[in-house]
Structure 1
Amino acid sequence: MIERIETGIAPSSAPVNDAIKAGKQVWLVAIAEDPASGEIVSGGIAEQTRRTIQNLQIAVEAAGGSLANIVQVQVFLTDSADAKGMNAVYADFFKQPFPVRATVVVKELLAEGLKVEMLATAVLD
């Protein structure tokens, strides 16, 4: 059984979900979008990474878990020079054992000014 998790972040006008649950697994996606305004947060990679992970946190908590339940993260960056700044913020949120992670540099992301996007998988207790 597949269940859409309502987080209040993904735009209802687009054919997307930011969290889907199937059994004890939850698939999540997050960008640096302010949930209140729907706008991409201003600032550099640190601010965008922080908001992105906070959005992952909102989504996984809506599914009944926490960041500690995340076992895998895929990070998409638009600039390889941002990896160090992203890692610094990432380490503030994720602790040992860290989720398995892949980081990929892409030409661009869908929203203008967006520097980072994350896909994650969580396994609930």
Structure 2
Amino acid sequence: MKKIIASPAAPKAVGPYSQAVETGGTLYISGQLPVDAATGRMPEGIEAQTRQSLQNLGHILREAGYDYSDVVKTTVLLSSIGDFAAMNGVYAEFFTSEMPARVCYEVAALPMGASVEIDAVAVK
């Protein structure tokens, strides 16, 4: 049985997908752009955008009864791999022990001109 998860504190899905889906003790969180749900705006700079994307993930995790320590896998999409070190510095503020597995790609472009998008899988 699957359960659709939606947090009002995270940006609404802008297409035919859910913020997250939980099934069998696993939470699948869609890619989170660095959009502030309250303002609909993105901050400037890779550090601020990474922080906002990870905060959005946190809102969804909490809505589903999970937290960052439950995350087992993330995917990070960057518009420039040159931002890797700066992204990594902020990422390390959110994942401080028992780090999740991760893959990071440079992509040609991200929606809304974002510099980063991050998705996650969490397990209870």
TM-score (norm 2): 0.92
- Name 2:76's counterpart in structure 1: 75
Match of 1:24 in 2: 25
> For structure 1, which segment, 12-21 or 99-108, has the greater mean C-alpha deviation from structure 2 after superposition?
12-21
| Residues 81 and 107 of structure 1: CA distance in aligned 2, closer, same or farther (over 3 Å) | same
> Which SS does the other structure have where 1:90 is aligned?
helix
Partner residue in 2 for 1:106: 107
Cα distance in 2 between the residues matched to 1:64 and 1:99: 18
Report the 3-state secondary structure (helix = DSSP H, G, I; strand = E; otherwise coil) of the residue aligned with 2:111: coil
Paired amino acid for 1:16: Y
1 CA distance for matches of 2:70 and 2:98?
11
User: Which residue is 2:117 aligned to?
Assistant: 117
| 1:11 paired residue number | 12
Q: Deviations over 1:4-50 (max 9, x none)?
A: 012123436632211110020000121101010222x2210000000
The equivalent residue for 1:48 is 49
Q: Which amino acid aligns with 1:33?
A: V
Number of positions where the alignment pairs a residue of Structure 1 with one of Structure 2 = 122
Aligned to 2:38: 36
How many percent identity over aligned positions?
31
Partner deviation per Cα, 1:87-120 (whole Å, 9 max, x = no partner): 00000110121000000000001222x0000110
Higher alpha-carbon deviation: 28-37 or 114-123: 28-37
Distance 1:84 1:12, change over 3 A: closer
C-alpha deviations, 1:44-78, integer Å up to 9, x for none?
00000000000000001111110000000000000
Unmatched 5+ residue regions in structure 2?
none
Q: Is the contact made by 1:2 and 1:20 (CA closer than 8 Å) also made in structure 2?
A: yes
The TM-score, its normalising length taken from structure 1, stands at 0.92
Q: CA RMSD in A?
A: 1.3
The aligned amino acid for 2:34 is A
Task: Give, in whole Å, the separation in 2 of the partners of 1:84 and 1:44.
Answer: 13
